[in-house]
Structure 1
Amino acid sequence: MKLLHLDSSILGAHSVSRQLSSEIVAREITLHPGIEVIYHDLAADAALHLSGAHMAVRQGAALEDTSLGNDIAKGDAYVEELIAADIVVIGAPMYNFSIPTQLKAWIDRVAVAGKTFRYGADGPEGLLSQSKKLIIAAARGSVYAAGTPAAAYEHHDSYLKGLMSFLGITDITVIRAEGLAFSTEAKEASIKQALNEIAALAA
């Protein structure tokens, strides 16, 4: 088995999403001894944002920039890792109501027509195996649940779930710590609840 672990917080050791994603991976290792873990810290080593130059090369233009070539190779590796993974764990904090741009850059490199999805006569079809499991470690300062005043601003884990469902993954779990900016007590309680949910994850 293979597990793909992605972190995207810029806060390093102070990151709640990193704390949660690490605990999730530890839990999955316990449930699946011997599982191979592939890790990327997207905040420390992000792919370039998708550009016209990337698209031109994909359409057959000559590759004349070494750095662009290296970045395209990185994106190709991302796709192969995602296809090969049995479990995907994504640490995703909320920045300005959505995901970090570093994580969006990864998404733009793995959402590839003909590789992870395709368009057919009946519309789009995800090409990733439905046997894959995705676990999102989400962290955010406010509360965005349905019915709350901030619900309309939530373009965070709902976006990730929608995108990965589009690519074919249907087994999706969100471990969420929110209201982290309300108070120290609220933060501690939310993290504790999230850790309890992680401890209860089943194989």
Structure 2
Amino acid sequence: MKQIRLFIKRIFDFFGSLIGIIILLPLLLIISIIIKINSRGPVFFKQKRLGKNGKVFNIFKFRTMVTDAEKKGDGIFVKNENDNRITSVGKILRSASLDELPQLLNVIKGDMSLIGPRPPLPYHPYEYEEYPSVQKERFKMRPGVTGLAQVKVRNSVPWDKRMTFDVEYVNNFSIWLDFKIILLTIRSILFKESIYTN
């Protein structure tokens, strides 16, 4: 039964993302042009992330920070919207979560799902082999553009606490749960709930 649900999920992911890209194409083009005009550097930000079963893949986002931001300031951490590495356009994109839209390409490719645990860096908070067995359960499904942790606590708590929601999602996955997470994601974006770490 779970395999059938996963098959339905993949079909929904693929066609939902494809339709989404087609509908949002004018917006994606406008954002791309504005990013290029606003600051030097590429339109897209590409970064290695851990996916299903620990497979490493490249995640895509609209660039919201200055080039080589990870080598400056707080490195991989972005603690608040006043981080001077974030561009003026980047602040708007992050606030509305528009920087995540290119991940629809990751979903079409099969690296990600629309709903699932957010993919961590290959070396933070742990390397794949170092995850405790319970937390490693989160890697049994494709990572998501949004997920249960994002609608419950987003980035307002440390990784270890967020991963408890990831494991809960994997253990209780259903199409209905995915639908509820989509609705809650829309709400969290509209009310601009915390997107930064404490």
Same-fold call, TM cutoff 0.5: no
The normalised TM-score by structure 1 is 0.29
Rg bigger for which structure? 1
Q: Larger strand proportion, structure 1 or 2?
A: 1
Q: Larger helix proportion, structure 1 or 2?
A: 2
